[in-house]
Chain A
């Protein structure tokens, strides 16, 4: 098997009403790795993820996912990928089991009943499987969303702020499950976040975005060394301020 990139983004641009949300970015994510898209609000992370998923059409440039050009060839690969995002919910009136059954069928999962039981065990949902999704706590709902995103054992998992609104303990628990999944399945994960601790803990590589551009792209260790900082948060602040200072200098 060749080591073709799981995700290949080339000169990607997305413009909304003359405002560039993503301004010509390029990167590749190798199979079996965890990469983080780091950036503040409005950096272009969610738009980039949406274009990789084929939900949003690029203004120009090209996105290739596991060899399929998105969104034109998305049906070649959609059954082998999945996602979790704060922009979507699971139907609230359906029980957790019903939701997982529906999505399992949509993704063509074999032995679905067994798979749901397995996910119930791994994500500590067994006692919640027959409860309506809408009656769960925020942390439980996040675990259900995670179960949905893993129902088809995806080779590529796209996560947009997967631990937003979770308490630190639950967030840590979710990160541990993601790490284990990636290791066991040798899956590729692209994670968009503005949580530096999360990115530092999970990602082998960090792509820092600001105002639609890639400001830096390297391993966490190299970024820390290059900026002479102890945490990614400090690196992120350096990157954010560097551009502001440059702009002020130009003015």
Chain B
């Protein structure tokens, strides 16, 4: 046995903390980054809030279903911003040409992913909490009035956003910054099928099975059931949770395979376009 041989150190919360600290330093040193977290959610909330006010004044059904538009918007933002927050934290490493430093360090992929998850949560909360409070002030829509249901919606949406963020990070790692656009646009592929602003029954019958493959579909259906029928559909949340487990496993598997492929192709040292 070699004099050098020793066991590999296991999971380290300190390394996860190091990465969270790295992103926190970056965030607090850059006011445009902070502003960006609040700007779009705020603009969207105000736009859709006024649309809802208009619809409620002119349509009896929506008057009864108060809050579905703005509720859908706020929940969509959790999904979209969650994934974007994850992907941007990862892209910061590519833009800074720091990924080689990290991959050469003892940081393990799971620790890296965990730190990115925490940062996506932090970034989301910085943007979503003030905007959700403004939604109460401007339009009387209290997202927190959803109570436990909100926790279930939030958990499921975050899990989906992380699963997709993890996979997209793998794509960027393997293909370089040429694949950066996936980070910005991939969630919009899900938007029509996840039935954010309309029920699944609106879709043609042949397309509905595809919608039910996506965990967010269950969340948006659950939100409408809660706001329109005042019923919390625990069954929908459990279905979403089960699908999210599959999505997370797929995302992590894809990331590890793409990382392995990046090692084979030598792209960890050459992370340009």
Check if A138 is an interface residue, CB within 8 A of chain B: no
**A97, closest chain B residue (CB):** B25
Q: Cβ of B101 and Cβ of A90 under 8 Å apart?
A: yes
Residue of A nearest to B108 (CB): A75
Q: Which of A54-62, A114-122, A207-215, A239-247 contacts B (4 or more CB under 8 A)?
A: A54-62
B103 within 8 A of A: yes
Q: How far is the CA of A101 from the CA of B19 in the complex (A)?
A: 10
Q: Is B137 an interface residue (CB 8 A)?
A: no
Kindly state whether residue A159 has any CB partner on chain B within 8 Å.
no
Complex interface: chain B residues within 8 A of A88 (CB): 97-101, 269
Q: Give the interface size class of chain B.
A: 35 or more
Which residues of B have CB within 8 Å of A78?
104-106
A56 touches B266 (CB 8 A): yes
B264 x A77 contact (CB < 8 A): no
Asked if A2 and B2 make an inter-chain contact with CB atoms under 8 angstroms apart, the answer reads yes
User: Would you call A1 and B268 a contact (CB within 8 A)?
Assistant: no
- Please tell me the size bucket of the interface on A: 35 or more
Whether B21 sits at the interface, judged by CB under 8 Å, is yes
Mark contacts of A95-126 with chain B using CB atoms, 8 A cut-off: 1 yes-contact digit, 0 otherwise: 10010011111111000000000000000000
**Residue ranges of B at the interface with A (Cβ–Cβ < 8 Å):** 2-9, 12, 14-15, 17-19, 21-22, 25-26, 29-30, 92, 96-108, 260, 263-266, 268-270
- Nearest first, the 7 A-B pairs at minimum CB distance are A105-B18, A67-B2, A67-B4, A66-B4, A88-B100, A75-B8, A89-B97
**In the complex, given contacts A57-B263, A102-B19, what are 20 additional A-B residue pairs having Cβ atoms less than 8 angstroms apart?**
A2-B3, A14-B266, A50-B268, A55-B269, A67-B3, A75-B8, A75-B9, A75-B106, A78-B106, A79-B106, A85-B100, A87-B270, A88-B100, A93-B25, A94-B26, A102-B22, A103-B18, A105-B14, A105-B15, A106-B18
Please give the residue numbers on chain A whose beta carbons come within 8 Å of chain B beta carbons, in ascending order.
1-2, 4, 14, 16, 21, 46-47, 50, 53-57, 66-68, 71, 73, 75-79, 82-83, 85, 87-95, 98, 101-108, 132, 148
